[in-house]
Structure 1
Amino acid sequence: MNTSSPDKQSWWDAIEIYRRPRLIGIFSMALGTGFPLTMILATLTLWLGQVGVSAAVIGTFAAVKVPYAIKFLWSPLIDNFELPILGKLFGRRRSWLFVTQAMLVTALVVLGATNPVEDITLTYIAAICVGVCGASQDIVVDAYRIEILKDEELPASAAMYQYGYRVGNLIAGLGALYFAEQYSWHVAYYAMSSLVLFGTAAAIFLGEPELKGEELVHEEEKNISKWLDITEKSPSVWKIFAENLYLSVVVPFKEFLSRHGWYLILLFVLLLKVGDGMASSMTSKIIADLAFTNGEIAFANKTVGFFATIAGVFAGGILMKVAGTYRGLFIATLIMMVSNLSFAVLAEVGHNVPLLAFTIGFENFSTGVGGTLLIAYMSGLCNLAYTATQYALLSSFSNVGSSFLSMPSGYLYEGLGPSSFFIFTTVAALPGIVLLLWMRKLGSVSEDLRVKS
């Protein structure tokens, strides 16, 4: 007889779920997706700086992030086109995963083989190729993890994905530095490319996700065939092209836009992390302005901040499981908003190491909670017939909110001053809360973890 109270059992179930093989597999897959961006941002800029490339040229390498922001443009191809031969052998998702991973390894090896001093253009092109391949791998992995999981596993999977992604970042950063120190930057890139094997092994172990959402696809196939009057045995090339274009590109967005309050959902995803993104972009600036030493920064950021992020990710997975979608998102949004105020306090107090550690820890904890809740929420929004396309769209909107909309942060910081700036970033989070309340009122936030396929 189970004597545990319902609340205690709910909390225990939320923790125990992390032991499931599917969740461990998602962690392994995420580890393989977390390192490419590190290799073409922090690691690459360090390499370029050490060999004497100018700051102006290094700044242009920020363009390597663009593929991650626009990946929804080619996601319909990955979502709907089955690769010949490989698709029959491994299934649609895994065949695309293996191909994108092979392309990613090739691009990383080519990048590592370049000489930025002699030909910076080739290094630039190779880095962009790594970005495209890494973003493409993300499309496949996001679709795979959403489709392979049971409904109740979505919140925990979001946490495991964040864990794996951040561990991949950490390994890539430290591992690349080790190999560069012991051997060369070329060897560092060759060695780090092997991290894709974590995702390969997980896909082999977990197998191909079950194909779902066929009813909607078949219904749309009938509609377009009727509209194009495809009755002959050998329809014209343009009719075949129009049919595939409609089914692959138009229908996934049409299905999403047919939902009640779809515009509020997109706006919420866009605005949720604006305040947090603005504050994060100026974190290093305020730390420098307050003259903290490298040792103090390392303690607060790399030690306290790292473990706070881990705690936040774990708390986010449990929060959504226990509190539900709406309450979980509401609590996470409030935590993210309030965390920015701690930077305003730091700006007023000045050089204070314990307060710095608390501020960085609180900010990282809130980011972990909010990121986990957002990933779980966006995952549940995807119709299983068009997972890759719809998740790529939602994650691109999220990236726009946290990155592009926070670009004026430097000007605001200089114009308002540190304290007022961080108070402003707190206020900037209010539209997200208002939208969430509005979505709740209109019924656009469902407690169901998935939309009906």
Structure 2
Amino acid sequence: MSAAEDAQAAPRRDWRAALAVYRHPRVIGMLFLGFAAGLPLLLTGGTFTAWLRDLGVELSSIGFLSWVGMAYSIKVLWAPIVDRLALPVLTRLFGRRRAWMLLAQGLIIISLTGIALTDPTEQLWLVAVWAVITAFAAATQDIAIDAYRIEAVSKERQGAMAAAYVTGYRVALLTAGAGALHIAAVGTWGLAYGTMAALMLVGVICTLIVREPEVAERDRKTAQIEQRVLDYINNTSDTGYWRAFKAWFIGAFVCPFVEFWKRFGKIALLLIAFIAIFRISDIFMGVMANPFYLDIGFTKDQIANIAAAFGLAMTLGGAAVGGLLVARFGIMRMLIATALLAPITNLTFSWLALLGPELYGLVFAIMADNVTGGMAISVFIAYLSSLTNSAYTATQYALFSSLMTLPGQFLAGFTGVMAEFMGWFWFFVSSAAIGIPAVLLALWIARVANPDRLPQPGREEAPAERTD
């Protein structure tokens, strides 16, 4: 079957049914969970460093403290614990995913309050401790929310869940960025961080309201893999706590990766390659966007109003459209479309480089790039979600999300050298060309691993999806 025929075989809905996806209670709830996920990011990042510099903290100290953000990049290391470890009392009362969400949210509130009550000029070490706790708790919350988002609804609603998540996340970034700065300007930095700690209650309340996802813990093939672990343990001389820990460790840390490899075989490597390069064109271009605007003559006010504010609106609109189109046409068609649109829209910046500082050109380029970028985020999150096994949702998705950004972030370090050497026109042409392999791999995936046709492991015998 050709890629086109395979894509045509994907289920389709009419537009009314597709639009109804945004009325689903769990999709609405994801808007608030996305807000809770996005709020801590800048409070240990850009807003945090602005506060420290405003108080006169040395740049060297600020630079070292920026390392706290690495927690988001290495969260895959403890994602298996979130997947498998039951929390005393909390798991019994709220379920596996909500228990970890509530624990993480509680730690975020406590640590942000600690930052608010601590003076960095006198106790910088204590501020650093609170910031580290915030970052690791926020990364843990991300792991649990991602797992909940994947398990809470069926595959065709994943695009809408991603769109709601992205919308809440971006609103939170505005709140923790511009909002916190405005509060600090009229009050104090302590008041700003205290307010952000209080706003985390949005996530706590939502977590208490939503219900725990009801999914089958393991399918037959997953059970076979884990049985082999038990057979291996039974053939060793290990006893007592060491034996129990060894069995748990292999099941939590090794089995998720073994299961993914067994499920997809040799094509797993190409799937991983696709995950790594899908967003590389956007990341590659995005690093140089603001220097480009300034270089060709746009003012800071124009950049703020069009590239930032208008661009955010276009991204959120694109994310919503992406979720709708996934519900209407399925993941695969939209995966191919967004893989193709990302490099094409990069060429609008090559056109803008030739046009110069014309506002209509900037508006058109931002509209094209941010709408397709928002669509791509929703579609790709839905695609990554379709690759997970419900027995290992948190671990596998944490791995995929890390792979999604690391290669692009590494290569982005060379973009300044390229822009200086090539000039802006050819730089954006090259940023478009670097996205071509992702298009080719998307077409290949449609043929051999179409997510609209593959069953979701661990979900075949899951209870019917709840509507609350």
> 1:15, CA displacement in angstroms?
1.2
Question: How do 1:276-287 and structure 2 match up within 5 A?
Answer: 276-287=282-293
Structure-2 change in CA distance of 1:23 and 1:248 (3 Å):
same
Question: What is residue 231 of structure 2 aligned with on the other side?
Answer: 226
Q: Which residue type is aligned with residue 135 of structure 2?
A: G
Structure-2 change in CA distance of 1:231 and 1:154 (3 Å):
same
Question: What is residue 412 of structure 2 aligned with on the other side?
Answer: 406
Identity within the alignment, %: 33
Q: After the TM superposition, which of the residue ranges 123-132 and 359-368 deviates more from structure 2?
A: 123-132
Match of 1:252 among 250, 253, 256: 256
Instruction: Note if contact 1:69-1:399 (Cα within 8 Å) is conserved in structure 2.
Output: no
Question: What is residue 119 of structure 2 aligned with on the other side?
Answer: 115
Structure-2 change in CA distance of 1:449 and 1:352 (3 Å):
farther
Instruction: Note if contact 2:330-2:452 (Cα within 8 Å) is conserved in structure 1.
Output: yes
Question: What is residue 452 of structure 1 aligned with on the other side?
Answer: 457
Per-residue CA deviations over 1:259-284 (Å, capped at 9, x if unaligned) read 32111111111101111101100011
Matched, 1:99 2:98: no
TM-score, length basis structure 1: 0.92
Measure the CA separation in 1 of the matches of 2:454 and 2:372: 22
Instruction: Note if contact 2:52-2:62 (Cα within 8 Å) is conserved in structure 1.
Output: yes
Question: What is residue 388 of structure 2 aligned with on the other side?
Answer: 382
> 1:381, CA displacement in angstroms?
1.0
SS of aligned partner of 1:117: coil
Q: Which residue type is aligned with residue 341 of structure 2?
A: I
TM-score, length basis structure 2: 0.89
SS of aligned partner of 1:169: helix
CA root-mean-square deviation: 2.2
Q: Which residue type is aligned with residue 170 of structure 1?
A: L
> 1:248, CA displacement in angstroms?
0.7
Matched, 1:347 2:360: no
Question: What is residue 161 of structure 1 aligned with on the other side?
Answer: 165
Measure the CA separation in 2 of the matches of 1:215 and 1:390: 16
Per-residue CA deviations over 1:392-429 (Å, capped at 9, x if unaligned) read 01001112134233222122122222111111100111
Instruction: Note if contact 2:342-2:373 (Cα within 8 Å) is conserved in structure 1.
Output: yes
4+ residue runs of structure 1 moved beyond 6 angstroms?
Answer: none
Measure the CA separation in 2 of the matches of 1:340 and 1:128: 37
Matched, 1:274 2:317: no
Instruction: Note if contact 1:179-1:188 (Cα within 8 Å) is conserved in structure 2.
Output: yes
Measure the CA separation in 2 of the matches of 1:62 and 1:433: 35
Q: Which residue type is aligned with residue 29 of structure 2?
A: G
Question: What is residue 289 of structure 1 aligned with on the other side?
Answer: 295
> 1:17, CA displacement in angstroms?
1.3
- Tell me which of the two structures has the higher relative contact order, counting C-alpha pairs closer than 8 angstroms and 6 or more residues apart: 2
Instruction: Note if contact 1:272-1:401 (Cα within 8 Å) is conserved in structure 2.
Output: no
Measure the CA separation in 2 of the matches of 1:316 and 1:25: 18
Measure the CA separation in 2 of the matches of 1:59 and 1:290: 30
Measure the CA separation in 1 of the matches of 2:405 and 2:94: 31
Question: What is residue 3 of structure 1 aligned with on the other side?
Answer: none
> 1:119, CA displacement in angstroms?
4.5
Instruction: Note if contact 2:346-2:428 (Cα within 8 Å) is conserved in structure 1.
Output: yes
Matched, 1:198 2:202: yes
Instruction: Note if contact 1:71-1:135 (Cα within 8 Å) is conserved in structure 2.
Output: yes
List alignment gaps of at least 5 residues for structure 2: 1-10, 459-468
Instruction: Note if contact 1:381-1:450 (Cα within 8 Å) is conserved in structure 2.
Output: no
> 1:90, CA displacement in angstroms?
1.5
Measure the CA separation in 2 of the matches of 1:250 and 1:231: 18
Q: Which residue type is aligned with residue 225 of structure 1?
A: L
Question: How do 1:298-309 and structure 2 match up within 5 A?
Answer: 298-309=304-315
Matched, 1:438 2:444: yes
Question: How do 1:130-169 and structure 2 match up within 5 A?
Answer: 130-169=134-173
List alignment gaps of at least 5 residues for structure 1: 1-6
